[in-house]
Structure 1
Amino acid sequence: MPPVFRFAPSPNGYLHLGHAYSALLNFDLAQACGGRFLLRIEDIDPTRCRPEFEQAIYEDLAWLGLAWEEPVRRQSAHLDEYRAALARLTARGLVYPSFESRAEIARLVARREAEGRWPRDPDGAPLYPGTAKQLEAGERAGRIARGLPHALRLDMAAAIAEAGALTWVEQGEGPAGETGVIGARPDLWGDVILGRKETPTSYHLSVVVDDALQGVTEVVRGQDLFQATSVHRLLQTLLGLPEPRYRHHRLIRDDRGDKLSKSSRAVGLRALRAQGASPSDIRRLVGLL
């Protein structure tokens, strides 16, 4: 079977040079080894994802000279598949609901940090500080029956106890140059959210389900997702999903050394194209020529 690569952007803004580098690298690697190249639209966030951004993704990638297999998988059309995976974990006692709002969690974190340093995950976000895991089953059921908003969290300690020690083989390198066999540390992430009342999935859950269902064998993505691989390996093991090969690539940074992002208003490919840039110019700018 040929290797299967994928590029999986979210349509919550226009693609920038960082996206171009990842997409081109995946496409080039697939071409070089006679593999397949898939495009996936990660649109599980209805508040930020917009049709015009999705259309722009297709236009920008086609302009760069990329071709992908059809049909494109759109996550919003597959919520039942994520719901089923979440149900499997819930049935084994590995998922619990938490009912605090974001503001309440922020207050809990502030209270704990006033008492001493509170741990944060590899992305810098504070670990979940609440006590929802200790709620009685009847109390949980009653709150859910009343329609209270809630997040569905992975009981990280129970999940790790069931899965055991995990590793992955890194064919690229992590932010500190890590390569080879990497010991997974999902515990650093605390009780991560796997879904919410209104959306039965999260990035972590949907990405492992999608990769398995699409037969992805090569996950080539930015170093900013290197640490998240620990959570993905844990979920793959718990759900009995195959382990792809991982290659984390360098990030494209701005003049200040910061990672390009939509939130920082990085210049989009559409704007560069409007300024007269060619696909070859883009390859040169990201170091692929």
Structure 2
Amino acid sequence: MPPPVFRFAPSPNGYLHLGHAFSALLNADLARASGGQLLLRIEDIDRTRCRPEFEQAIYQDLSWLGIGWDGEVRRQSDHLELYRDAVTQLASMGLIYPAFETRAEIARLVADKEAASPWPRDPDGAPLYPGNGKQLSPAQRDELIAAGVPYALRLNMSAAIALAGELSWQELGKGPDGETGTIAARPQAWGDVIVARKETPTSYHLSVVIDDALQGVTEVVRGADLFWSTSVHRLLQHLLGLPAPVYRHHALLRDAEGRKLSKSTGSTGLRELRAAGVTPAEIRTLVGLAAPI
């Protein structure tokens, strides 16, 4: 049996914090203990938020932590054509459609629906897509596209599930409520998810499954906040004929108020800790990892 392949895949939209350190160190420890490989992927499809200085800081922080990686770094922005091909494949199966509502219009539609009764939300708490993109005729869609109206390409979830049937994944870690072992996928909980936009030919869900497959990743080790996203990933893997890795979701590090560490909330960054004289060994202690053997 070939050695396992792990990956650490940060987005360069801010500086790394202790939560990233925990995930990176855990991946490195597991790769070392199993005689496997650790790959580094830069998930930079969001060109409005990702910046070169954040990418360079990722390399600096990982090097300071003593984390090396195998092979070349894979940057998602270098592989947009592969994601376009996957979108074309899904379109040829009749599984995606353009939706033209803006975020503000979607918010208004949700508010109107919730005035009558609760509107369903996905596992992250966001409302499911409430629009009528699926009901537009081909002629209506073509007219809007020709007029230059922005759109998102959404997965027709009911059609995709009907084609794929029941799916599951192998969980070596634990979900938010302690779920482990064979987990039944529930992609329907996400509604008609976005797989690409007019200006960006992919999404997190789509690019991550393609990259994991092309890089030969066999074990995905990531935070428990992505546990139920695996349902969508398993569905896309099945539809696109991609292999399924095993998953190991880990607990999230939280701040004093119980919130998960986040770039957006200014959680303590590795560069600040390094500047304050904290050592890599002390970082391992802070995140609850023993010294590597």
Q: Same fold (TM over 0.5)?
A: yes
Q: Could you tell me which amino acid in structure 1 is paired with residue 276 of structure 2?
A: Q
1:57 corresponds in structure 2 to 58
- Cα distance in 2, alignment partners of residues 26 and 144 from structure 1: 43
Tell me the equivalent position of 1:27: 28
Instruction: Give the 3-state SS of the residue equivalent to 1:215 in structure 2.
Output: coil
Secondary structure at the residue paired with 1:254? coil
Secondary structure in 1 matching 2:189:
helix
Gaps of 5+ in 2: none
What TM-score do you get using the length of structure 1 for normalisation? 0.99
- Tell me how large the CA RMSD over aligned residues is: 0.6
Question: How do 1:48-197 residues align onto structure 2 when only pairs under 5 Å count?
Answer: 48-197=49-198
Deviation at 1:70, TM superposition (A): 3.0
Alignment TM-score, normalising by the size of structure 2: 0.98
Equivalent pairs: percent with the same residue?
Answer: 71
The AA in structure 1 aligned to 2:81 is D
Alpha-carbon distance in 1 for matches of 2:71, 2:245: 21
Q: Distance in 2 between matches of 1:254 and 1:178?
A: 24
The equivalent of 2:238 in structure 1 is 237
SS of residue in 2 equivalent to 1:115: coil
CA distance in 1, matches of 2:186, 2:195: 17
Aligned-pair CA distance for 1:40: 0.2
Q: Which moved more, 1:9-18 or 1:64-73?
A: 64-73
Where structure 1 has 5 or more consecutive residues not aligned to the other structure, the ranges are none
Equivalence for 2:4:
3
Runs of 4+ in 1 over 2 A off after TM superposition: none
Pairs aligned (count) = 289
Q: C-alpha separation between the residues in 1 aligned to 2:58 and 2:227?
A: 24
For residues 123-163 of structure 1, the C-alpha deviation after alignment (integer angstroms, 9 at most, x for no partner) is 00000000110000111112112221000000000000000
Deviation for aligned residue 1:203: 0.2
| Structure 1 CA distance for aligned equivalents of residues 197 and 88 of structure 2 | 13
Q: Relative to structure 2, which stretch is displaced further, 30-39 or 142-151?
A: 142-151
The one-character-per-residue Cα deviations of 1:219-261 (angstroms, maximum 9, x if unpaired) are: 0000000000000000000000001010000111111111000
